[in-house]
Structure 1
């Protein structure tokens, strides 16, 4: 009989344990690289994966023989607290200095890195690659104490939540 452990260790993280960063592409001397910006303004991030699956049927059988997999779509939303400037301008400082005024849907694809560390020393990270903004909005109201910048996105890939620090070799960087 297999020896089953009777105890296990589970770690969790709260919103206070999380730091969000965006890796934005910048051009330096004709070379494209990524500049990392920590965004304390990012208050909510969500993602979802969708992949259509269709049954494969054969004549004379009621049940499907298997399933055909369609293309995967990765999408989600980003919600920022707005202070005194448009959030995109902070991420694209280099372009703004040159006089360009981008909107979020014009941003080049960027990466989002969420790192977590709790008071017990446990760490975890998640990374979303190739984020491109599809639409954005802003909410402000006399009923709310703060203003929000909301954005929805599509992305190319995701490195799901895993233990360890993204930048100390705990996770792969693509």
Structure 2
């Protein structure tokens, strides 16, 4: 009795979450637990006199949104990875901010207002005066006002301060089958997390909007094409007969 092995080895391609990884601007974040996305478009009916039924439908604006869920270990995975800088790569994740709203400058405002409050001069005029002093003294060693010295670039403290980034989703299973898709221009809207005695695993969730989605595409099967992976051990090779 002959055994037809081909009918069992030829099959449809399918991928589970265990076969998929996601890279954020080229940074692979292993804590990603789930990613969802949806595409919504406005469609409005067009009516005319003499008929209760729509004559046509007008297609309007499109919106792309979704969510990201990360398992939380001992860090905020998305924030920590996106703030990293790599040799030869542009520092894209820094954001522009007024200097007095960041770090030591912010403390100067609070300490200055506290001192003014003790002398009875606390109020909006004191606030303006303190802000003006910080504005004039923003550039070290320079006299007078300088608009260039009012702002600087800083690493983000909150996820909504991250610059737009892309997400590439790649799937590869044990049979050599591969697929990929991309989401472009991701901007974070909301973030949330929490802890409970009833939760064994802590997670952080984000919602986002995107500019464009490139749908799932099949990639070349390394096994059937006779190619070998770059991770194949030295000296190992195979040939499709």
The residue that corresponds to 1:124 in the other structure is 179
Unaligned regions of 5+ residues in structure 1, if any?
1-7, 24-35, 166-174
Report the counterpart of residue 19 of structure 1 in structure 2.
21
Q: Which residue of 2 aligns with 1:10?
A: 12
Larger Rg: 2
Which residue number corresponds to residue 3 of structure 1? none
Q: Which residue of 2 aligns with 1:92?
A: 83
Contact 1:138 1:148 in 2 (8 A): yes
TM-score normalised by L of structure 1 = 0.77
Deviates more, 1:94-103 or 1:71-80: 94-103
Answer yes or no: is the 8 Å Cα contact 2:41–2:63 preserved in 1.
yes
| Range that drifts further, 9-18 or 95-104 | 95-104
Query: Structure 1 stretch 90-99 or stretch 133-142: which is displaced more?
Result: 90-99
Deviation, 1:139, is 2.7
Task: Tell me if the contact between 1:22 and 1:112 (Cα under 8 Å) persists in the aligned partners.
Answer: yes
Hey, what does 1:67 align to over in structure 2? 57
- Per-residue CA shift, 1:64-111, capped at 9, x if unaligned? 221111110000000001121122122211379997342100000001
Q: Does 1:43 align with 2:33?
A: yes
User: Which runs of structure 2 are paired with 1:137-152 in the superposition (5 Å)?
Assistant: 137-152=192-207
Structure 1 or 2: more helix by fraction: 2
Comparing 83-92 with 66-75, greater Cα deviation is found at 83-92
Match of 1:171 in 2: none
Say if 1:13 and 1:116, in contact at 8 Å, map to a contact too.
Answer: yes
Q: Aligned pairs, how many?
A: 146
**Going by fraction, where is strand more abundant, 1 or 2?**
1
Q: Structure 2: which 5+ runs fail to align?
A: 1-9, 86-90, 95-152, 221-241
- Residue 105 of structure 1: SS of its match in structure 2? helix
121-130 or 135-144: bigger deviation: 135-144
| Aligned-pair Cα RMSD in Å | 2.2
**Deviation readout 1:1-29 (Å, 9 max, x if unpaired):** xxxxxxx9531101110011101xxxxxx
Kept in 2, the 8 Å contact 1:51–1:70? The answer is yes
- TM norm structure 2: 0.56
Secondary structure at the aligned position of 1:68 is classed as strand
